[in-house]
Amino acid sequence: MPELPEVETTRRGIESHVRGRVVTGVQLRVPALRWPIPPEISGVLPGNAIGAVHRRAKYLLLETAPGDVLVHLGMSGVLRVLPADTPALRHDHADLLLDDGRLLRLSDPRRFGSLLWQPRGEIHPLLQGLGPEPLSDGFDGDHLWRLSRGRRAPVKVFLMDQAVVVGVGNIYAAEALFRAGIHPLRAAGRISRERFHALAGAVRAVLAHAIRRGGTTLRDFLDPDGAPGYFEQELSVYGREGEPCRHCGTPLRSLRLAGRASCYCPRCQH
């Protein structure tokens, strides 16, 4: 599943190509992805210019005067800017036709993504109640410490709670906890303020580095230029069960948390 760095890489990759371009038409090949595609996408959007392309959590927002196009890539979605005469393939579900002879195409083999509409001045229900962005000034160790008091949930589950902080998925939560030296099963409410400062710094560092490197290479993800990201080659723990820890050499272990595998070093993380 594309995580925050992959989504941010996509945002940066498409913005320069679509910003200022007028949407001249919309072609929808399916009525719904994860949810029904609202009529505003084809009825209101055409004739409007795309302004900035924003990201909120793992959602992309294409800004126009009457509202925002809200895109989620789901588990396998990809956005690409292509010549307007590029033939559509089986999983190419939606095209936004642009006034420069190109189109913005949403492909999604598993159809777990979404194409939605947020009217100007409103906040879509999916964006309500979200925590701060992990790379924003609103996210730090004090924030994590305050929200964790009394919480018995494992810290990894706590860190992946979108009401706590957005966009920290399984891969980057595992990597940040390793960097901060915190065991994924430790109860969030038993972690000190000092260690939460270390964890917040680790989250920032891991995400920022992944964004610089173009996101993590996953089977279903390619960046808008068709080139895979390279961060996966540098992962410290995720997907490396049984391999030696890059820091101490101890074989890495894995456990299940919230239905997902969580790899960690039993010596470096406590």
Domain extent for 183: 141-264
Domain boundary among 84, 105, 127: 127
Q: Is residue 136 part of a domain?
A: no
232: its two tokens: 């996966």
Which residue stretches of the chain are H helix?
4-18, 40-43, 141-148, 155-159, 170-180, 193-212
Burial class of residue 9 in the structure, from the number of CB atoms within 10 Å of its CB (0-12 exposed, 13-18 middle, 19+ buried)? buried
Ligand-binding annotation for 151, yes or no, is yes
Neighbours of 154 (CB within 10 A): 20
Is 179 known to sit in a ligand binding site? no
- Let me know if residue 118 belongs to a domain: yes
Please report whether residue 269 resides in a domain.
no
Residue pair 206/200 in contact by the 8 Å Cβ criterion: no
How much is the pLDDT for 231?
A: 57
Catalytic residue among 2, 154, 184, 224: 2
pLDDT number for residue 220? 38
According to the model, what pLDDT value does residue 218 have? Answer: 46
84 inside domain? yes
Low-confidence ranges of the chain (pLDDT < 70): 1, 215-233
pLDDT at 222: 46
Give the dihedral sign, CA 168/211/61/121: positive
> Could you tell me the CATH number of the domain that includes residue 107?
3.20.190.10
Radius of gyration of the CA atoms of the chain, in A: 20
Structural domain ending residue among the three candidates 67, 99, 127: 127
Q: Which of 159, 186, 152 is nearest to 175 (CA)?
A: 159
| Domain identity same for 231 and 149 | yes
Catalytic-role residue among 3, 6, 8, 15: 3
**Do residue 122 and residue 147 come from a single domain?**
no
56 is catalytic: no
Does residue 79 sit in the same domain as residue 148?
no
Q: How far apart are CA 237 and CA 253, in angstroms?
A: 9
Check whether residue 250 and residue 186 sit in a common domain: yes
Residue tagged active-site, from 58, 80, 105, 179: 58
Is there a single domain that holds both residue 106 and residue 151? no
Decide if 154 is catalytic. Answer: no
Residue 8 annotated to the active site: no
Please check whether residue 123 lies inside any domain of the structure: yes
Do 66 and 165 reside in the same domain of the chain?
no
Q: Which amino acid is at 255?
A: L
Are 73 and 182 contained in the same domain?
no
Nearest partner of 182 among 171, 170, 198, judged by Cα = 198
Domain boundary among 93, 127, 161: 127
Q: Is residue 16 part of a domain?
A: yes
Q: Quick one: pLDDT at residue 2? A: 75
Based on the fold, state whether residues 151 and 123 are members of the same structural domain: no
On whether residue 132 sits in a domain, the answer given is no
Q: What is the domain-level CATH number for residue 161? A: 1.10.8.50
Of the residues 19, 240, 246, 260, only one is catalytic, namely 260
Are residues 253 and 180 part of one domain?
Answer: yes
The residues near 164 (Cβ < 8 Å, ≥ 6 apart) are 131, 144, 147, 158
Instruction: Indicate whether 32 and 118 sit together in one domain.
Output: yes
Tell me whether residue 133 is in a domain. no
**103: its two tokens:** 């189109």
Same domain, 15 and 60: yes
The tokens for 204 are 């920032």
- Is residue 2 flagged as an active site residue? yes
Is 63 strand, coil or helix?
strand
The pLDDT assigned to 75 comes to 86
Query: For the chain, how many structural domains are there in total?
Result: 2
